[in-house]
């Protein structure tokens, strides 16, 4: 089996499989084409951040999030750095706190520090969520605490809602602004059984993404009070975020938001079902064991070099693929991230179960 598949990469096998378990589909140009087909071609675009096409969407999202105002950004990286800069300027404190594996810390080339000269306080430990006790134990004054819900890099874990409420109350009592990295906010509403506005009520500002669970081509919303949003518009211009036209991002965001916002509960149920199938396999576990959103991590108790040929074979022989990559997580283990979406219901359940039964059998032969 390994000789036959040695020339085929995991990415190749994944892309050639008939059935792909996660996500909504490949990120092809048709994602934008489908959104644009629903729009009158004579509709005026936005112009440097102005125009009804952007104003109406911003107002709609402000209402969804329960905030006074909202501003559309081309990227969440831009939106969040600006939010933290504003809170630091208002407090005259150039420090913010967040999780050691926050996006700002590990994926943005120190943009917050290099562009805004803001110091980050890494709160808690990398392998777990931030707790109220972590917040209470901070020795240095900070302008803002950022919480990411769910915490992606540790499998998409979430704190109990009561813990969130306690952290929010503590921050307000002590003059610490609370910002939500809500890139996957909509995906956690089924678990919390709360509306986006109810969750956002605990936060002073919030960012949401339109290309993750929503599946648009790009784009983000930053929401908060009217004064902060007016300030964020100035910073958006300074960052070069006022493109002459953002309408391709806005139109795809609006279209796929309307298409998928009502499916978040379904994606969540899919994730729980799929995780139970993985956890029934030898040498495979998910984090969390029971997902709290449509996203979770799948861990193998084998090195990537041993797992990859198995997944290539499964994709080729069972026409079913679960990932295009594996991350090394230790000397003899590896993992990948799974997010369920529209594609899951297109996979025949017997195909999926046969593929995972075979994988279980192959893993059972290994020594862990």
Q: What is the pLDDT of residue 38?
A: 87
Provide the pLDDT confidence category of residue 356 given band limits of 50, 70 and 90.
Answer: very high
At 89-143, the pLDDT tens digits run 999 999 999 999 999 999 999 999 999 999 999 999 999 999 999 999 999 999 9
Give dist(CA 54, CA 229) in Å, integer. 14
Residue spans per domain, the chain: 2-25+263-363, 46-244
> pLDDT at position 305, please?
95
pLDDT at 5: 52
Q: What are φ and ψ of residue 284, in 5° steps?
A: -130, 135
Per-residue pLDDT for 47 more than 90? yes
The two domains 2-25+263-363 and 46-244 share their CATH topology (first three levels equal): no
Return the pLDDT at 161: 98
Q: What pLDDT digit, counting tens, does each position of 208-222 carry?
A: 999 999 999 999 999
**Could you write out the three-class secondary structure of 133-165?**
HHHHCCCCCCCEEEEECCEHHHCCECCCHHHHH
Integer angstrom CA distances of residue 291 from 75, 133, 334, 346, 360: 27, 24, 19, 21, 21
- pLDDT at residue 7, as a whole number: 81
CATH among 3.40.640.10, 3.40.50.720, 3.30.70.100, 3.40.718.10 for 46-244: 3.40.640.10
Q: Evaluate if residue 368 carries a pLDDT over 80.
A: no
Q: How confident is the model at residue 26 (pLDDT cuts 50, 70, 90)?
A: confident
Under the banding of pLDDT at 50, 70 and 90, the label for residue 330 is: confident
Please tell me the class of the 2-25+263-363 domain: alpha beta
**Predicted pLDDT of residue 1:** 45
Rounded to whole angstroms, the Cα distance separating 259 from 24 reads 12
- Asked if pLDDT for residue 4 goes beyond 60, the answer is no
**Spatial distance between the Cα atoms of 29 and 168, rounded to a whole number of angstroms:** 41
Mean pLDDT of 80-89: 98
pTM higher than 0.85 = yes
Output the average pLDDT for the chain: 96
């Amino acid at each position: 089996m390994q000789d036959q598949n040695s020339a085929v990469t995991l990415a190749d096998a994944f892309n050639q499989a008939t059935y792909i378990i996660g996500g909504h589909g490949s990120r092809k140009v048709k994602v934008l084409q489908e959104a644009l087909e629903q729009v009158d071609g004579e509709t005026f675009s936005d112009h440097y951040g102005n125009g009804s096409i952007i104003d109406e969407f911003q107002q709609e999202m402000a209402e969804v999030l329960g905030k006074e105002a909202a501003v559309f950004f081309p990227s969440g990286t831009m939106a969040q750095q600006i939010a933290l800069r504003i809170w630091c300027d208002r407090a005259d404190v150039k420090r913010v706190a967040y999780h050691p594996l926050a996006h700002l810390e590990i994926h943005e080339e120190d943009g917050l520090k290099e562009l805004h000269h803001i110091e980050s306080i890494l709160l808690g430990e990398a392998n777990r969520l931030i707790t109220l006790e972590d917040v209470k134990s901070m020795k240095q004054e900070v302008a803002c605490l950022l919480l990411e819900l769910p915490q992606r890099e540790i499998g998409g874990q979430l704190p109990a809602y009561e813990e969130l409420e306690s952290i929010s109350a503590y921050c307000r009592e002590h003059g610490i602004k609370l910002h939500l990295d809500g890139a996957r906010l909509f995906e956690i509403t089924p678990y919390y059984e709360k509306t986006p506005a109810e969750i956002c009520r605990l936060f002073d500002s919030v960012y949401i993404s339109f290309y993750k669970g929503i599946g648009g081509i790009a784009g983000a919303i930053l929401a908060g009070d009217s004064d902060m949003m007016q300030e964020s518009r100035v910073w958006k211009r300074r960052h070069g975020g006022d493109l002459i036209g953002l309408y391709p991002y806005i139109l795809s965001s609006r279209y796929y938001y309307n298409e998928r916002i009502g499916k978040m509960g379904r994606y969540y149920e899919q994730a729980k079902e799929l995780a139970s199938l993985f956890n029934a396999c030898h040498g495979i576990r998910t984090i969390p064991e029971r997902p709290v959103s449509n996203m979770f991590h799948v861990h193998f108790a084998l090195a990537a070099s041993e797992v990859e040929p198995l997944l290539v074979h499964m994709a080729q022989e069972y026409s079913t693929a679960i990932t295009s990559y594996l991350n090394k997580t230790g000397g003899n283990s590896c993992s990948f991230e799974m997010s369920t979406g529209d594609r899951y219901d297109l996979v025949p359940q017997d195909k999926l179960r046969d593929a995972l039964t075979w994988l279980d059998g192959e893993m059972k032969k290994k020594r862990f």
